[in-house]
Amino acid sequence: MMSAYSRALANWGTTGYGPMLSIPQHTLGLFAAMVQWEDALAYRKLLLEFPYASHGLVFCRDQDGGRVSIDGQGRPVLEYWPSERDRVNIMEVCFPKQGFVNIRI
């Protein structure tokens, strides 16, 4: 996958844990497939925003884990919720303290 990555908040050099931000390459076709459909006019307006759009993914190597058990039918049961410190790490990438910059070129 062609992406740009930022490990600025990852703390991998100290703790080995933390979030990484990935900004994947996307095309108009991929963007059109991801845009929510309400009606034709709203869809068109969203597609006209494509030149100004960017998408980000947050990958977090969490410090605290969950649990996987097996139910009576032999199926896995996942019990997981990010811990408070992992949620703080994820939110810092999504909502930086210095705020967002909205630039249109």
User: Residue 44: its pLDDT value, please?
Assistant: 93
Q: 64-78 in b/e burial notation, b at 16+ Cβ within 10 A?
A: eeeeeeeeeeeeeee
Supply the pLDDT for residue 96. Answer: 67
Listed in order, strand segments (DSSP E) in 1-105 are: 3-6, 18-24, 57-61, 67-70, 76-79
- Give the tens place of pLDDT for each residue, 25-66: 888 888 888 888 999 999 999 899 888 887 777 888 778 878
- Residue range 60-86: mean pLDDT, rounded: 87
Q: Which two three-digit tokens encode residue 55?
A: 């998408």
Closest by alpha carbon to 43, among 51, 52, 33? 33
Q: Could you tell me the residue ranges of all domains in the chain?
A: 3-94
User: Closest Cα to residue 93, out of 44, 23, 1?
Assistant: 23
pTM: predicted TM-score of the whole model, two decimal places: 0.53
Predicted pLDDT at 74: 94
pLDDT score of 87? 84
